[in-house]
């Protein structure tokens, strides 16, 4: 069975702003996420984005724009899968975070070992989803962490990747000094420029 990294895209892989409107201007990829995710992929993890998208639909973002954003995320960060909930709270669905439906759906689809999988997010809902699914949670510091259970809070995605690699092997899986942070000369070359996607 494989292990996965579940990651919230908003604020971690892309800045998403439904008020900006206009085709191709909904989101801006975060190139600094490229190296940490590549390191996790090299370590053998599946990379799966998970998102609640009702808020974006409610704000008037079209499904075509969401599909375009998913494709850009998939290409830029070599994601293996993107799972979304488009329900509202009133729908009482099993997949709206903090409920763990997206993780359990992925576990079934990809034959995952959730005890060796990690949830990376920036809100309390991500940590609560991880707790219910039996994954370790790592939150990037933000105003939305809340006071519920979480396993780790770290300053940025590069620190999260280091921590996961440490936890995975009980030791440093890659030599310290390997750059996981933003590297304009290298890491960005795999990113697809936004303007090419329109």
Q: What is the DSSP string of 84-126?
A: EE---GGG--S-STTS-HHHHHHHHHHTB-GGG-EEEEEEHHH
28 contacts: CB under 8 Å, gap ≥ 6 = 14, 15, 194
Which member of 87, 97, 123, 131 binds Zn ion (CB under 5 A)?
Answer: 87
Residue 187 beta carbon to Zn ion: minimum distance, rounded to whole angstroms: 33
Q: Nearer to Zn ion by C-beta: 95 or 103?
A: 95
CA distance linking residue 197 with residue 78, whole number of Å: 16
CA distance linking residue 161 with residue 119, whole number of Å: 11
DSSP bridge pairs for 112: 2
CA 127 to chain centre: 12
If one asks whether residue 102 binds Zn ion (CB under 5 A), the answer comes out as no
Q: Which stretch binds Zn ion (CB under 5 A): 13-21, 61-69, 82-90, 173-181?
A: 82-90
| Number of residues counted as binding Zn ion (CB under 5 A) | 5
Which member of 38, 49, 82, 95 binds Zn ion (CB under 5 A)?
Answer: 95
Q: Which stretch binds Zn ion (CB under 5 A): 73-81, 95-103, 115-123, 186-194?
A: 95-103
- Residue in 54, 2, 5 with CA at minimum distance from that of residue 33: 5
Which member of 30, 96, 131, 182 binds Zn ion (CB under 5 A)?
Answer: 96
Q: Which stretch binds Zn ion (CB under 5 A): 78-86, 135-143, 152-160, 163-171?
A: 78-86
If one asks whether residue 99 binds Zn ion (CB under 5 A), the answer comes out as no
Which member of 93, 145, 167, 197 binds Zn ion (CB under 5 A)?
Answer: 93
If one asks whether residue 131 binds Zn ion (CB under 5 A), the answer comes out as no
- Residue in 69, 75, 73 with CA at minimum distance from that of residue 57: 69
CA distance linking residue 40 with residue 117, whole number of Å: 11
Residue 136 beta carbon to Zn ion: minimum distance, rounded to whole angstroms: 23
Binding site for Zn ion (CB under 5 A): 85, 87, 93, 95-96
């Amino acid at each position: 069975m494989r292990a996965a990294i579940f990651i919230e895209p908003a604020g971690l892989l892309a800045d998403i702003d439904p008020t900006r409107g206009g085709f191709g201007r909904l989101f801006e990829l975060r190139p600094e996420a490229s190296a940490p995710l590549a390191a996790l992929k090299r370590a053998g993890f599946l990379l799966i984005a998970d998102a609640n998208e009702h808020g974006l639909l409610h704000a008037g973002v079209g499904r075509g724009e969401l599909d375009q954003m998913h494709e850009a995320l998939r290409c830029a960060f070599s994601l293996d899968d993107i799972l979304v909930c488009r329900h509202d709270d009133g729908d009482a669905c099993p997949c709206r975070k903090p409920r763990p439906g997206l993780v359990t759906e992925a576990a079934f689809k990809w034959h995952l070992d959730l005890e060796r999988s990690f949830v990376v997010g920036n809100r309390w809902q991500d940590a609560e989803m991880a707790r219910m699914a039996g994954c370790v949670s790592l939150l990037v510091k933000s105003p939305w962490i809340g006071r519920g259970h979480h396993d780790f809070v770290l300053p940025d995605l590069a620190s999260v990747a280091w921590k996961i690699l440490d936890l995975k092997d009980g030791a440093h899986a890659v030599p310290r000094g390997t750059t996981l942070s933003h590297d304009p000369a290298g890491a960005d070359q795999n990113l697809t420029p936004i303007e090419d996607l329109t």
